[in-house]
Amino acid sequence: MRPNGRHTAGASQLPAIRAWAMCLLLLSAVAMSPTTAKAAPTSQAAAATTHVYLLRGVLNIFSLGLDTIGSRLQAQGIPVTVANFVSWSSLADEAATAYKAGRIKTIVLVGHSSGATALPDMIAKLNQLGVPVKLAIGLDSVFKTKLSTGAERYINIYIGDGPGEPVRAAAGLRGKLDNVDVRGTGVGHISIDKNEAIQRRVIAEIDAAIMRSRAPAPVAEPGAPRQARSAAATAPARN
């Protein structure tokens, strides 16, 4: 009977042995990846020191998709300001003051319609104040928009067969300029800022810019070679 007794005792110890083994595996995994828990604060800090300025178009009633974009960015911990395009100059002053005080490290501009048309002026004023712009995104800029001083990256998403136009690069522009034509996707001038695919792209570009902001970027200087290109987009039709 003793052999059977020993066998029964060994079986009763199996659950405890398995529990100890699982604990050891979990402890080993934590020990082998000590940097996992430290990655989030860095991203949160970069987001908190970013500020996104969203410029609505005429009458403040046709660019409400920017409010949705702003709410989504705020949910990610990114501070935003949503205002009419006529406020671009005072907003540039506010951004410059916050940047020089160290409260803002990364500046992003987004505009729709006339708000997009005002972006080059806001960038120029910030550059004159010695403040770099990490990213600017225009949504169907109207009139003939010319970029004379650059953000690190400028994306103009426009409807080629509508009122929007490509942004032209002035001689000596430094920075990356992308003109993205979304004609044929079912997006219109009034709906482009509200289109889900466009909103996702804008937010993704902002998130990527924040990730790039962890490394120092060169400040735009006059007289440097121009770098510009055009691209085609295939955004799905609006909901």
**Pair (118, 14) in one structural domain:** no
d(CA 144, CA 138): 13
Among the listed residues 170, 168, 199, 169, the one whose alpha carbon sits nearest the alpha carbon of residue 182: 199
Average confidence (pLDDT) over 177-183: 95
Instruction: Give the pLDDT score at 228.
Output: 36
Residue 6 lies in domain: 2-34
Tens of pLDDT along 65-80?
999 999 999 999 999 9
Tens of pLDDT along 117-157?
999 999 999 999 999 999 999 999 988 788 988 899 999 99
Orientation of helix 36-48 relative to helix 196-212, angle to 10°: 110
6 falls within a domain:
yes
**Pair (21, 82) in one structural domain:** no
Beta bridge partners of 196: none
89 Cβ contact list (under 8 Å, min separation 6): 121, 122, 125
Question: What is the distance, to the nearest Å, from the Cα of residue 146 to the centroid of all Cα atoms in its chain?
Answer: 23
Backbone angles phi, psi at 50, to 5 degrees: -100, 150
**Pair (165, 52) in one structural domain:** yes
206 falls within a domain:
yes
Which residue, chain included where needed, has tokens 């506010």?
94
Question: What is the distance, to the nearest Å, from the Cα of residue 194 to the centroid of all Cα atoms in its chain?
Answer: 16
The answer, as to whether pTM is greater than 0.85, is no
Could you tell me if 162 and 31 are in contact, meaning their C-beta atoms sit under 8 angstroms apart?
Answer: no
CATH number at residue 109: 3.40.50.1820
**Pair (26, 102) in one structural domain:** no
**Pair (60, 122) in one structural domain:** yes
Q: CA dist 183 to 51, 95, 196, 205, Å?
A: 30, 34, 16, 20
**Pair (24, 46) in one structural domain:** no
Among the listed residues 72, 161, 68, 63, the one whose alpha carbon sits nearest the alpha carbon of residue 118: 63
28 falls within a domain:
yes
**Pair (26, 86) in one structural domain:** no
Does residue 89 carry a pLDDT above 80? yes
The two structure tokens encoding residue 160: 């080629």
**Pair (87, 166) in one structural domain:** yes
Domains contained in the chain, number: 2
239 falls within a domain:
no
**Pair (30, 48) in one structural domain:** no
**Pair (175, 149) in one structural domain:** yes
Q: Name the residue with higher pLDDT: 156 or 173.
A: 156
**Pair (59, 161) in one structural domain:** yes
**Pair (196, 222) in one structural domain:** yes
Sheet holding 228-232, edge to edge: 80-84, 50-56, 106-112, 135-139, 153-158, 176-181, 228-232
